[in-house]
Amino acid sequence: MEECNNIHPFDNMEKHSENVKMKKLYDSKSRLYIWIVFLTPFLSVYGLKSLGLDFGTLSLIIAFMVMCIKKKLAINFPKFDLWGVYIVYLLLGIVLYEINIIPSFVSSTSIITRAGKYILLILILLFSIKNDFFEYEYVISVYIKLSLLACMFILVQTIAFYLFGRIIHGYLPFFLYAETYESQLTVGIGTLYRPTSFFYEPSHFSQYCGMALPIILFKYGETDKRKYWYAIIVTLSIIASTSGMGIFLAGLVWIIWMMTESNIINRTLNVKKIILATIIISVSYLFVVSDYGNKVTSRLIGKNTGLSAFDARTGSFEDIVQMDFWSLLFGNCYGNVIENKYMTSWIFNIWCLGIVGSLIILFLYFFCFKDAYRKEIKIIVLINIISSFLGTTFMGVYFLIYFFVILSGNKKVNEKYEKSLYHNYS
């Protein structure tokens, strides 16, 4: 399926895979399922807080059940591998919490809700992979479309605010899952306007669109003239979001691309590449020295406000240092966190799962990286590891969409998929 690597996400869907076009493997239910998976973060903004259920998760569960019924319950169970070990470890933590061996920081109901939802997402992911509920090229096509939609909308929000003084909301004013969501979008930090696109906050936007840039730069061919326009749109939208994490990771992806793919540094120089590099460097410089850039920087370091995004992401290290030996080794159970404490994924993992659980996660990352034969997937794995130090990309619905892309680009999974095509239609 190598010929698919240069297919553009907005080209005719029937062209994205010759095998799928010829055999018509994917029907409307299969395609709808993939759309719902990647719409989950959008829909999770809404829900019924009293029931602890957001519409994104609810839609995902319903769509997954429909896919299972479509298979006429002939579901293949995933083999018990490292993911199985991880699930057992999560369940063991819940048991130890319930028998009061682990200290309690939240109610039992909260633990069951948080851990149960997380385990459910993992199972949906693994069963979807095992039963071929996806196809990589279509997964990427859907994800890129939704990412570009979110990016273009946040640019519209930014232009509307700075040119016309108007705030354009990206949400519907009912069934908001977070009670403070509406005020969150209308209150800035100091005088800095922080657009959020269709998400709760800028960091959620940058987490969702974090895979778009490496996919666009590393997957689509040099002959695709639209490639660089879309890469620039994604980059500018991340800058517009003022998400420090997003800006840092976008810059890192561009650096990796320039050093490995763009021929700018270690191969024959190309006029277009030089112009592109000059534009990126110039825009970056203008951003840093501009008033807007100063406001973003002030937010990151807490200048004038005392509120630092960096401090918010590292403050919980003090809690890790104060953990006793057994808690540090095995954790406090998934979701059993101190109330009103912000924790990034890695701090959360160490606090909840301990060193043992965090090592399991590191090995999961390692095998995902090793098994991925596509460059963009390897970059996405690295981005996810780094962003987990800065945000929450190994938690909740963002965990689902990242690993849905990562594992659908997994070498063994795609070999299995192609063999199933041959077996079913030869």
pLDDT of residue 20: 43
Mean pLDDT of 29-56: 86
Residue 301 confidence (pLDDT): 45
Domain for residue 215, yes or no?
A: yes
pLDDT in tens, 300-343: 444 444 444 444 455 556 667 778 888 889 988 888 887 767 77
The answer to whether residue 50 is domain-embedded is: no
Residue of 273, 271, 276, 257 lying closest to 219 (CA atoms): 257
CA distance 314 to 308: 10
In a domain, 36, yes or no: no
Q: Which amino acid is at 218?
A: F
Residues 170 and 197: beta-carbon distance below 8 Å? yes
User: Does any domain span residue 62?
Assistant: no
Which pLDDT belongs to residue 264? 47
Q: What is the pLDDT of residue 79?
A: 66
DSSP 8-class letter at 9: T
The C-alpha angle with vertex 326 and arms to 324 and 332, in degrees rounded to 5, equals 85
Q: Look at residue 76 in the predicted model and tell me its pLDDT.
A: 62
- Return the SS3 of 323: coil
Position 145 scores a pLDDT of 94
Average pLDDT, the chain: 76
Is 54:177 a contact under the CB 8 Å cutoff? yes
Tell me the three-class secondary structure of 26-78, residue by residue.
Answer: CCHHHHHHHHHHHHHHHHCCEEEHHHCEEHHHHHHHHHHHHHHHHCCCCCCCC
CA distance 276 to 291: 24
- Region for residue 81 given its phi and psi (left: phi exceeds 0; alpha: psi -120 to 50; beta: otherwise): beta
Looking at residue 287, its pLDDT comes to: 54
Model confidence at 45: pLDDT above 80:
yes
pLDDT band at 120 (very low <50, low <70, confident <90, very high): very high
Query: Is 227 part of a structural domain of the chain?
Result: yes
Nearest of 401, 391, 396 to residue 243 by alpha carbon: 391
Q: How confident is the model at residue 270 (pLDDT cuts 50, 70, 90)?
A: low
Domains of the chain: total? 1
Residue with tokens 């965990």: 399
Query: Which 8-state DSSP code applies to residue 12?
Result: -
Of 288-297, 331-340, 392-401, the least confident = 288-297
Q: Rounded to 5 degrees, what are φ and ψ at 288? A: -65, -40
Closest listed residue to residue 284, CA positions, set 237, 236, 214? 236
State both tokens at 85: 């070990």
23-35 confidence digits (pLDDT tens): 444 567 788 899 9
Residue 290: is it exposed, middle or buried by C-beta count within 10 angstroms (0-12/13-18/19+)? exposed
Determine what percent of the chain is predicted with pLDDT higher than 90: 23
For residue 369, being part of any structural domain is answered with no
- What is the Cβ-side half-sphere exposure of residue 334, based on CA atoms within 13 angstroms? 25
In the prediction, which pLDDT does 4 show? 44
* CB-based contact 115:201 (threshold 8 Å): no
Quick one: CA torsion of 147, 199, 346, 297, rounded to 10 degrees?
90
Specify if 51 maps to a domain.
no
Examine residue 357 and state whether it is found in any structural domain, yes or no. Answer: no
What range defines the domain where residue 181 resides?
A: 134-311
Per-residue confidence (pLDDT) for residue 15, from 0 to 100: 45
